[in-house]
Amino acid sequence: MLDTKPQRRKPVGYKPGVGSRASRVVNLVGLLALAAVFLIPFYLIVRNALSTTQEITAPEWMWFPTDIQWSNFAELFNDPMVPMARSLWNSTVVAVLTTVGTLFLCTTAGYGLARIPNRFSNHVFYAILATLMIPSAITFVPSFVLVSSLGWVSDLRGLIIPTLFNGFVCFLCRQYFLGFPRELEEAARVDGLGYWGAFWRIVIPNSKGFLAAIGVITFVTSWNAFLWPLVIGRSSDSWTVQVALSTFLTAQTINLPQLFMAAAVAILPLVFVFLFLQRYLVQGVTQSGLKG
Amino acid sequence: MAVTRKSAEPASSAAGAPRRPRRRLFGGRNLAFWYFVGPFLIGLAIFTYIPVGWSAYLSLFDARNTVTPASEDFVGLDNFATMLTDENFRRSLITFTVFALFVVPLTFAASLGLALAVNRVRIMRAFFRSVFFLPFACSYVVASLVWKMSIFTGVRYGMMNTVLEWFGVENIAWLAGNDPPWFWLVIVTLRIWIQCGFYMILFIAALQQIPEQLYEAAYVDGAKPGRQTFWHITMPGLRATSVAVLMLIVIQAYQAFDEFYNLLPNNGNVPYARTPLIYLYNTALGTGQDLGRGSAGALILALLIAIVTLLQGRFLGFGKSEGR
């Protein structure tokens, strides 16, 4: 083998020096090209959001708008036909409360199952596992039946509350707490804390990375959800941003720059999540992919 | 102490582990367990078990526009029979099958390929990982919007048609209809774009678990880098993850709704490409609001996916995520 010594930043899974220099260059160039392709949709959102209709539909492809149309932003929010501000607010409320609620319910339940001996804990655990067999999207008819009899259609309660009791997140929490170092809690118990106290003062503060990972992925999923908000959001007051966008997209007359400005606004929060919390998101994906 | 509790005691101690004698049944440890687990469990019962049970009940009734059908509307298993003999329902399963035949191998190959390439590159690895993962931030609605109104627009100014024009190819109406079925290209590329970064992350995580020494040992034994080590070290090392990823892709494809709804004419309610969920949505919540048949359909679909998952697990070996 040629050069096995300089193993500083060795790519795992591939021995350094494996493959010729040429093949590594090909790999890099290929990746750069692919990366460019992957970014095209984002480029198109930005270009179209800041162009005029004439520029978007011009006979010659225009790579960039001649004048950046910031006014599209104001027009989007002033358009009475599209309840953009309202739907953004709804999405924010739904995603934040869903994340907080899911974290609270699933970590407490997961901790209880992992750490507090009880003769029913296996029964409870199997009752939770059984719900994982069926993808949640398919249960939208049954859930709709229940939510509509509670009178929560077109109501944010209907969007939030039924999604909080996430068996999968609870399962992840249980697995995580099973691996949490017992010594820390025992120290707390010696100091006279009960389960509740130990949980909030010791376990939770020492699980920030895990909570962030689960929280971020819950937030992204909730923000991007479409089917359930569509089922529940029967009136425009309760539309989330995804439902509003979809309505806007399938409308008869379309103002292209406004449509893309709406898309840009809709992905902005998640772009921030990606910029600042990507580490946790990756961790969350890895954790949730753990179980098929 | 109530009698029932007392009688429960010996049974549990007989079955229970050789633990130290229990303290008070309520209070202390038992109470703690219930206030930790209780709220979640109650919610799960109300929002998962009750709806499923209720829906199973509704599936036996002619329940149009109602969730509390009268007893004379009892129809037995008619809803199931209607669903199973319904041409449209069966076609929706065919649509799913066609879709899965495209999406599953392509997404799998794309995400594995990306993971291998990103894992191999020496510079800018974090950048590549972020770029390929970034589409996960896009909802299917946003992606559909871009795909429909900018990339695969059927008119001249769409990006694909612009590119084709440079090569002198006529404009193509990508999403207009089934003849030829260009819409599959639109739908499949969209889903791959959104999903493959997600699975790439899983594959990268798994790749990093494969011990370096295995490769070194293989080279010492004269294995050639590349194909040989890929099939004999890398792929076996990715086995658990591959099974999990395949299952996830299939389950996700089964639930396809968003992009069909937003891309295709008539909100996806077209005979040539109705997915099972689009069909279900229109049956249960469309103009008819036939919750009886919708419930029957939901149960059938849930059963089907459970069977598919189990068979896949049996066939590929259960994804017992070893080595994590």
B95: CB partners within 8 A, 6+ apart: B272, B273, B274, B275, B276
Check residue B6 and give its pLDDT.
Answer: 40
List all residues of chain A from 19 to 78 with a beta carbon under 8 Å from chain B.
19, 24, 27-28, 30-31, 34-35, 38-42, 44-45, 48, 56-59, 61
| Distance of residue A161 Cα from the nearest chain B Cα, in angstroms | 8
The encoded tokens of residue B33 equal 């367990």
Q: Please write the tens of the pLDDT for every residue from B153-166.
A: 878 888 888 888 88
Check residue A164 and give its pLDDT.
Answer: 93
Of B30, B132, B226, the CB nearest to A38: B132
Of A39, A121, A135, the CB nearest to B254: A135
Q: With contact defined as beta carbons under 8 Å apart, do B276 and B301 qualify?
A: yes
A232 vs B8, higher pLDDT: A232
Gap between the Cα atoms of B38 and B33, Å rounded: 8
Structural domains of chain B, ranges and CATH numbers in brackets: 80-138+194-316 (1.10.3720.10)
**Residue written as token pair 């901790």:** A111
| Distance of residue A78 Cα from the nearest chain B Cα, in angstroms | 21
| Complex-level ipTM beyond the 0.85 threshold | yes
Residues B128-134: what's their mean pLDDT? 92
In CATH, the number for domain A78-289 is 1.10.3720.10
Q: Please write the tens of the pLDDT for every residue from A126-167.
A: 888 888 877 777 788 888 888 988 889 888 999 999 999 988
- Would the pLDDT of B112 be above 50? yes
- Would the pLDDT of B3 be above 60? no
B42: CB partners within 8 A, 6+ apart: none
Of B128, B159, B285, the CB nearest to A31: B128
- Would the pLDDT of B322 be above 50? no
Looking at the complex, does the CB of residue A224 fall below 8 Å from at least one CB of chain B?
A: yes
Q: Do residue A292 and residue B130 have CB atoms under 8 angstroms apart? A: no
Chain B residues close to A112, C-beta within 8 Å: 32-33, 36-37
Residue-averaged pLDDT of chain B: 83
Looking at the complex, does the CB of residue A192 fall below 8 Å from at least one CB of chain B?
A: no
Which ranges of chain A have pLDDT less than 70?
1-19, 289-292
| Distance of residue B118 Cα from the nearest chain A Cα, in angstroms | 8
Q: Do residue A131 and residue B48 have CB atoms under 8 angstroms apart? A: yes
**DSSP per-residue codes, B195-222:** HHHHHHHHHHHHHTTS-HHHHHHHHHTT
Gap between the Cα atoms of A193 and A196, Å rounded: 8
- Indicate the range of A156-170, B192-206, B215-229 predicted with least confidence: B215-229
Task: List the beta bridge partners of residue B64.
Answer: B290
Looking at the complex, does the CB of residue B169 fall below 8 Å from at least one CB of chain A?
A: no
| Per-domain boundaries in chain A | 78-289
Gap between the Cα atoms of A137 and A151, Å rounded: 21
Q: Please write the tens of the pLDDT for every residue from B136-152.
A: 889 999 999 999 988 99
Of residues B197, B194, B103, the one with CA closest to residue B143: B194
In terms of C-beta density within 10 A (0-12 exposed, 13-18 middle, 19 or more buried), how is residue B223 classed? middle
Q: Chains A, B: CB contacts under 8 A, how many?
A: 321
pLDDT interval class at B27 (50, 70, 90):
low
Residues B161-189: what's their mean pLDDT? 87
Q: Do residue A14 and residue B123 have CB atoms under 8 angstroms apart? A: no
Check residue A4 and give its pLDDT.
Answer: 44
Q: Do residue B319 and residue A292 have CB atoms under 8 angstroms apart? A: yes
